[in-house]
Amino acid sequence: MQPLIEYEHSQGLVREVFDDIRATRQTNEINNFWKAIANHPPTLQRTWATLKDVMGSPGELDPLVRELIYIAVSVTNGCDYCIASHQAAAISKGMTQGMFGELLSVVAAANMTNRLANGYQVPVDDKFKQPTVIAK
């Protein structure tokens, strides 16, 4: 475990990113994740820029849906920290108990069927092989 970098002890690039996290999230609290990766400032800067953009920029998927997708990945990978922190984020964006239950039921089913497809070595149907034209 690396020591956590507290806001009070931060400086330079780390302080700048911490200030942007505070401003963006409108809270003085900074989660342990950011305090930990602040041990390597370029990782802090790059990761925050990526998450701020990927989770929060305007787009076609609303912020709650993005949180659900994030949780689906974290549950599949078994990342306890990420499950706990993004479950909280999803709740703050409107996730209800029913949504959470449905989310996990899809995650569970997909993990199950992924392995059935592997185990039966199912060949991809021809119709799924062509380049996909998706509406813009």
Q: Which is nearer to its own copies, 8 or 126 (CB)?
A: 126
d(CA 63, CA 66): 5
* Contact pattern for its own copies over residues 20 through 59, marking x by CB under 8 A: ---------x-xxx--xx-xx-xx--xx--xx-xxx-x-x
128 binds its own copies (CB under 8 A): yes
The interface region with its own copies, picked from 6-14, 16-24, 120-128 by CB under 8 A, is 120-128
d(CA 78, CA 74): 6
Contact 87, 96 (CB under 8 A): no
7 binds its own copies (CB under 8 A): no
Q: Which tokens go with 119?
A: 């185990």
Q: Which is nearer to its own copies, 23 or 130 (CB)?
A: 130
9 binds its own copies (CB under 8 A): no
12 binds its own copies (CB under 8 A): no
- Give the number of residues in contact with its own copies, rule: CB under 8 A: 89
CA angle centred on 19, ends 17 and 24, rounded to 5°: 95
Q: Which is nearer to its own copies, 9 or 59 (CB)?
A: 59
Q: How far is CA 83 from CA 55, 112, 123, 135, 136, in A?
A: 15, 20, 33, 33, 32
